[in-house]
Structure 1
Amino acid sequence: MTTASGDRITIMLVDDHALVRDGLRRIFETQSDFEVVAEAGDSHAAVSLATRHRPDVVLLDVEIPGDHVTTTVRRIREATPDTEVVVLSVYDSPELVGRLLDLGIRGYLLKSATWHQLVAAVRGAGHKSSAVLLAVSMDSLSRMNAPPPRVLSPRELDVLRLAAEARTNLQIARSLHLSEATVKRHLRSIFAKLNAVSRIDAVNKAVAASLIGPPNSKGNTSVPRRRPPMIG
């Protein structure tokens, strides 16, 4: 079976750590049917280089500087529709996996996955296999079709958007004309509803579930567009 670029599967590596990219490159160099044609360290370079090189597969780290991973995947898919995307992640998040599957990724692997799983995911994507390889926990798989997290109240969303801007409890309280104790109470409720362990975790889960938009370049949190229900 051949790929869009010929006998070899061409790959672009996207990770903000040069050592990680070097390690991934070495893995793929052991396989005669792979060729790494480009590397990028942030989302904007990833889209630009994918547009230029049009690789068969982009291996994309979930957390790189620039746009949210969902935006990066969407922009790559729009710029070069024949390119498949496989995501590497430290987040075992069914909400995020669901959103990325909606965008057409061909694999989602935790960084605890084996190199055999990684090679299989990239090879399958490169050959346009109908299968999607998910190397996530059983808990995450079981939660993917579970009901979405309890919806946050409008006030809780206000608090979380400001928390996403790295504001302190006092700053949030002043912005919303609340007491600091009330802000803390809202944050405890948010953590409970999202099953989050920290502000960053709550923000990430809320963004993944489209409850709030990702912070923009000025540090403000955008309002998400209404979209159809998603997996997870």
Structure 2
Amino acid sequence: MELRTPPVPNGELNNIRIALVDDHALFREGVSEILQLEKDIEVVAEAGDSTAAIAAIGETRPDIVLLDVEIPGDDVGVTVRRIRAASPETKTIILSMHDSGVLVQRLLGLGVHGYLHKSVSRLGLLAAIRDSQVNDSHIVVSVSPHSLVPSREGIVALSEREREVLHLVARAMSNAQIANRLGLTEATVKRHLRNIFAKLSAVSRLDAVNKAVAAALIDPALPVKGPSAARRPA
């Protein structure tokens, strides 16, 4: 966690006070340099994981948090809720390489004030920040046109066990927790995940979950089956 200025209540500075949360330091530095060139914007904190982010946001009470989706620590939905609890007046704008329609709609449903793909231009980012600061009810979304239209083309079949594993991944369980829940070894869980990634052409756990939800292969809202599931073959 890196704090840029002493903590001060919102309203005592005319600048729009920003916290950057991204686990790639080089990206954070680049965005920070862009923002610091603006007379009305001030970067007050940076963090690379959810725990450091919540601590920094609680201390600095920024006007806006620029939050990446995949950072170490809590699931992004949990992080959004914790930001609101730590600093209720702070607005969250997602800045991410992921623009799955399911993910975008999920986070907008949690009350974020914007969702920007990292391909957004400098002017687009600045406009989103300023618009969010002055318009409480205006939500800024800048993603690829196809991202909000889930496609069912090329749907692949997941086995029942693979769906169970992915269902638990969607609940932010670790491999060890999934293994314990389903009565498997961690090596077996990893094997299932490799198969899932290959079938869905996924590059990460989050990507696999998003693609499976968009294709209606899993529904994270449904309850997870009990210990009886562990008695079936892996």
Q: So what's the TM-score if we normalise by structure 2?
A: 0.69
Equivalent pair of 2:62/2:90 in contact (CA under 8 Å): yes
Separation in structure 1 between the aligned mates of residue 96 and residue 124 of structure 2, nearest angstrom: 14
Separation in structure 2 between the aligned mates of residue 162 and residue 61 of structure 1, nearest angstrom: 22
Instruction: Please state how far the C-alpha of 1:202 moved relative to its aligned partner.
Output: 2.0
Q: Which residue of 1 aligns with 2:184?
A: 175
Instruction: Please state how far the C-alpha of 1:12 moved relative to its aligned partner.
Output: 0.5
Q: Does 1:114 align with 2:121?
A: yes
Change (3 A) 1:198 1:29: closer
Q: Does 1:140 align with 2:118?
A: no
Instruction: Please state how far the C-alpha of 1:132 moved relative to its aligned partner.
Output: 1.1
Equivalent pair of 1:9/1:34 in contact (CA under 8 Å): yes
Instruction: Please state how far the C-alpha of 1:109 moved relative to its aligned partner.
Output: 0.8
Separation in structure 1 between the aligned mates of residue 43 and residue 83 of structure 2, nearest angstrom: 17
C-alpha deviations, 1:141-173, integer Å up to 9, x for none? Answer: 3349x9xx99x8864432435788569xxxxx9
C-alpha deviations, 1:20-43, integer Å up to 9, x for none? Answer: 111111111111110111111110
Q: Which residue of 1 aligns with 2:83?
A: 76
Q: CA RMSD in A?
A: 3.9
Separation in structure 2 between the aligned mates of residue 125 and residue 161 of structure 1, nearest angstrom: 34
Change (3 A) 1:77 1:207: farther
Unaligned runs of at least 5 residues, structure 1: 168-172, 177-182, 214-221, 225-232
Separation in structure 1 between the aligned mates of residue 139 and residue 70 of structure 2, nearest angstrom: 21
Separation in structure 2 between the aligned mates of residue 56 and residue 103 of structure 1, nearest angstrom: 18
Q: How many residues align?
A: 195
Q: Does 1:48 align with 2:55?
A: yes
Separation in structure 2 between the aligned mates of residue 165 and residue 29 of structure 1, nearest angstrom: 38
Q: Which residue of 1 aligns with 2:95?
A: 88
Q: Which residue of 2 aligns with 1:61?
A: 68
Separation in structure 1 between the aligned mates of residue 53 and residue 119 of structure 2, nearest angstrom: 23
Q: Does 1:19 align with 2:23?
A: no
Equivalent pair of 2:167/2:219 in contact (CA under 8 Å): no
Aligned partner of 1:36 among 6, 20, 43? 43
User: Structure 2: which amino acid aligns with 1:97?
Assistant: V
Change (3 A) 1:19 1:159: closer
SS in 2 for 1:125: helix
Equivalent pair of 2:102/2:213 in contact (CA under 8 Å): no
Instruction: Please state how far the C-alpha of 1:223 moved relative to its aligned partner.
Output: 5.2
Separation in structure 2 between the aligned mates of residue 134 and residue 31 of structure 1, nearest angstrom: 22
Q: So what's the TM-score if we normalise by structure 1?
A: 0.69
Q: Does 1:197 align with 2:201?
A: yes
Q: Does 1:157 align with 2:139?
A: no
Unaligned runs of at least 5 residues, structure 2: 1-9, 177-181, 186-191, 226-234
Q: Which residue of 1 aligns with 2:228?
A: none
Instruction: Please state how far the C-alpha of 1:187 moved relative to its aligned partner.
Output: 4.7
Equivalent pair of 2:102/2:148 in contact (CA under 8 Å): no
Separation in structure 2 between the aligned mates of residue 135 and residue 67 of structure 1, nearest angstrom: 24
Equivalent pair of 2:102/2:210 in contact (CA under 8 Å): no
Q: Which residue of 2 aligns with 1:211?
A: 219
Equivalent pair of 1:206/1:212 in contact (CA under 8 Å): no
Work out the percentage of aligned pairs sharing the same amino acid: 46
